[in-house]
Amino acid sequence: MNKKYIIAAAFLILGAVNQSCSNDFIDVSPTEKIPESALVEIYNNNEGANSLVTSIYAKFLDWNMSTFAWIGVTSIVSDDADKGSSSSDSGSDKDILDALNFTPATPSFKELFASNYQGINRCNQALKYLPQLDKADPELRKRLAGEAKFLRAFMYFTLVRSFGGVPLVDHVPVTGVEADKLMTLTRKSKAEVYAFIEQDLKDAIASLPDRSTYGATDKGRASVGAAHALLAKVYLYQKKWQLALDECNLVTGYSLTTNFQDIYKVSGENNDESIFEINGTGGTAGRAIQQYSQVQGARGTTGWGWGFATPTQGLYDAYSATDTRRDVTIIHRDMTLYDGYYVGPNTENKFYNYKAYSSNYRDQASTDVNIRYLRYAEVLLIKAEAMNELGQTSAAIPFLNQVRNRANIGNTPVSSQADVRADIWKQRRLELAFEHDRWFDLVRTGQAQAAMAADGGKVFKVGTHEVFPLPQDFIMEAGGLSAQNPGY
């Protein structure tokens, strides 16, 4: 990207993050640093159009989007991870999350809420300006708009699973327009948010290419397969079983990686199993996922990190002794890692997250780790779950068995609908541990109360903890236009 794009992107990002429009908490302001006509002229070619959407992906590298808060509200809050670190280090609020004692003032929820709206604003700005770039290739602009809609849907899926109904900001608000102010402050229902996500993904499917068309420099961009897979997952969370199954059947051209360990090495990034992952390049300023590995790295003697989000004994014990996923998911003391590095017997915590391990940048804040968000294994499990719920249990079992057999635990020993359901849920836990789904899975499947009680007697408040509290700052700013979630 040449200098003029860097300067323009800086203004765009400033507009997304720092300026104030109708709502100071949801950062949704338009770019106001330079005239719109000048901005369009700067971006009016292929490179400029591409940079608009690249800035959306870049948001996922930020600390407030993908690191400490996100690790806290998806892993530490669940039965898969404890706070970890040392007893004297609360991690701002990670001890509160771990104990399920969070409130609307808990800082991680403010970061989760604000960071996703910052990303959504970048999507909205891209979708606003792309149609005006008449000197850029039309097919490129169509694809880029599809990517922006996929990413916007991805972020709204995070928000709706976390908070339930949220404001639907579907365009760049205009300062002084009352309707736009209301848009940023007024919650829509969960059903309305899901409908918006579905439409964005359908639009993305119509615009995105197969991943095979992307060159080496574009690996990691959203593809039509990613849009079908995410839509299947969106339907899964709404119990729209037939629609979830239909979308799974449209996810083609992917296969399971033979060796589970290989998925999480640098050499396994964007491989045949990968459907969508966040790409970070270690050692390059501004390109790494900020401190993602360092926060979760082993702490103490022979360690390299802060030691947060440590796997629980319950997760470790849930794997059988033959399950090849256990020692790929969990680092333990006195263990030699795949690159020959020895984790000694004196680390501060018993277990650490192996999937976040960065071999090349062990001693640095930067990382070469990618976050795997959609894999073919999950599509197989979604397909199995949907078929089982539709009464097609015998037909569902082979898809479940593909995941089990790759893990070296053999075919499922059960055959009834209820038992197959339980095994699918268990395999989701073991397969996707530390891939930021466990808490949401516990809630959607109704397992949360029992799972948290088993995790040290923690109390999951039915009727409250199914969603997180909306940040208090937002509720105050909304001034009655948005109500807090029940129980908070």
Burial 272-291 (b: 16+ CB within 10 A, else e): ebbbbbbbbebeeeeebbbb
Q: In Å, how far from its chain's centre is CA 375?
A: 12
Angle (CA) 400 442 385, round 5°: 25
Q: Evaluate whether 294 touches 304 at the Cβ level (below 8 Å).
A: yes
Section 265-276 average pLDDT? 96
Q: Evaluate whether 95 touches 113 at the Cβ level (below 8 Å).
A: no
Q: Evaluate whether 71 touches 434 at the Cβ level (below 8 Å).
A: no
Query: Strand, coil or helix: what is 292?
Result: helix
- For helices 46-59 and 3-17, angle between their N-to-C axes, nearest 10 degrees: 40
Instruction: List Cα–Cα distances, 215 to 207, 209, 220, 252, 475, in angstroms.
Output: 17, 12, 10, 19, 45
Distance, in Å, from the CA atom of 59 to the CA atom of 67, rounded to the nearest integer, reads 12
Instruction: Give the per-residue pLDDT at 2.
Output: 46
For 356, the enclosing helix (H) or strand (E) is: none
Distance, in Å, from the CA atom of 39 to the CA atom of 344, rounded to the nearest integer, reads 55
Question: Backbone phi, then psi, for 300, in 5-degree steps?
Answer: 105, -160
* Residue 125 scores a pLDDT above 80: yes
Residue 76 is classified by DSSP as I
Q: Evaluate whether 483 touches 184 at the Cβ level (below 8 Å).
A: no
Q: Is 198 exposed, middle or buried (0-12, 13-18, 19+ CB in 10 A)?
A: middle
Instruction: Give the per-residue pLDDT at 106.
Output: 98
| Strand partners for 372 | 277
* Residue 5 scores a pLDDT above 60: no
Pick from 183, 174, 123: nearest CA to 21: 174
Structure confidence by residue, pLDDT tens digits, 95-121: 999 999 999 999 999 999 999 999 999
**Mean per-residue pLDDT over the chain, rounded:** 92
Instruction: Give the per-residue pLDDT at 8.
Output: 46
Residue 184 is classified by DSSP as H
Q: State what percent of residues in the chain have pLDDT above 70.
A: 92
Instruction: Give the per-residue pLDDT at 190.
Output: 98
Confidence of residue 14 (pLDDT cuts 50, 70, 90): very low
Instruction: Give the per-residue pLDDT at 26.
Output: 65
For CA atoms 487, 474, 107, 58, the dihedral sign is: positive
Pick from 124, 23, 115: nearest CA to 479: 23
* Residue 486 scores a pLDDT above 70: yes
* Residue 25 scores a pLDDT above 80: no
Distance, in Å, from the CA atom of 352 to the CA atom of 73, rounded to the nearest integer, reads 17
Instruction: Give the per-residue pLDDT at 470.
Output: 98
At 311, the amino acid letter reads P
Q: Cβ neighbours of residue 456 under 8 Å, at least 6 residues apart? A: none
* Residue 32 scores a pLDDT above 60: no
Confidence of residue 27 (pLDDT cuts 50, 70, 90): low
Structure confidence by residue, pLDDT tens digits, 173-223: 988 999 999 999 999 999 999 999 999 999 999 999 999 999 988 989 999
Burial 35-49 (b: 16+ CB within 10 A, else e): eeeebbbbbebeebb
Q: Cβ neighbours of residue 418 under 8 Å, at least 6 residues apart? A: none
Distance, in Å, from the CA atom of 340 to the CA atom of 335, rounded to the nearest integer, reads 9
Pick from 148, 155, 277: nearest CA to 211: 277
At 98, the amino acid letter reads D
* Residue 275 scores a pLDDT above 60: yes
Tell me the HSE value of 164 on the side-chain side, using a 13 A CA sphere.
Answer: 18
Instruction: Give the per-residue pLDDT at 151.
Output: 98
Question: Backbone phi, then psi, for 3, in 5-degree steps?
Answer: -60, -40
Q: Cβ neighbours of residue 336 under 8 Å, at least 6 residues apart? A: 342, 343
Lowest mean pLDDT among 10-19, 142-151, 316-325, 462-471: 10-19
Section 351-379 average pLDDT? 92
